[in-house]
Amino acid sequence: MSMQLTKKYALFSIVLIGSKLFTFAQETDDIGAIVTDRPDATEASSTVGKGTLQLETGGLYESFEENNIKSETYTYNTTLVRYGILDNIELRLGWNFVEGVTKVNGNRLDDVTSGLSPLLIGVKIDVAEEKNGMPEIAFVGHVFPVFSASADYRPETTGIDFRFSLSHTLSEKSSLGYNIGAQWGNDSPEAAAIYTVAYGYSISDKFGFYIELYGDLPEDNSANHYWDAGFTYLASKDLQFDIYTGTSITDGQDLLFALGLSYRMRKK
pLDDT digits (tens, 9 = 90+) for 199-237: 999 999 999 999 999 999 999 889 999 999 999 999 999
Cα four-point dihedral sign 209, 253, 177, 265: positive
Banded model confidence at residue 266, pLDDT cuts 50, 70, 90: confident
* Confidence grade of residue 187 (pLDDT, cut at 50, 70, 90): confident
Confidence category of residue 19, pLDDT binned at 50, 70, 90: very low
State yes or no: pLDDT of 1 exceeds 50.
Answer: no
pTM for the whole structure: 0.86
Report the distance separating Cα 4 and Cα 178, nearest Å.
35
Task: Return the amino acid letter for 238.
Answer: D
The 8 Å CB, 24+ separation contacts for 32-38 are: 32/237, 33/234, 33/237, 33/240, 34/234, 34/237, 34/238, 34/239, 34/240, 34/262, 34/263, 34/264, 36/240, 36/242, 36/262, 37/80, 37/82, 38/78, 38/80, 38/242, 38/260, 38/262
Which pLDDT band holds residue 15 (cuts at 50, 70, 90)?
A: very low
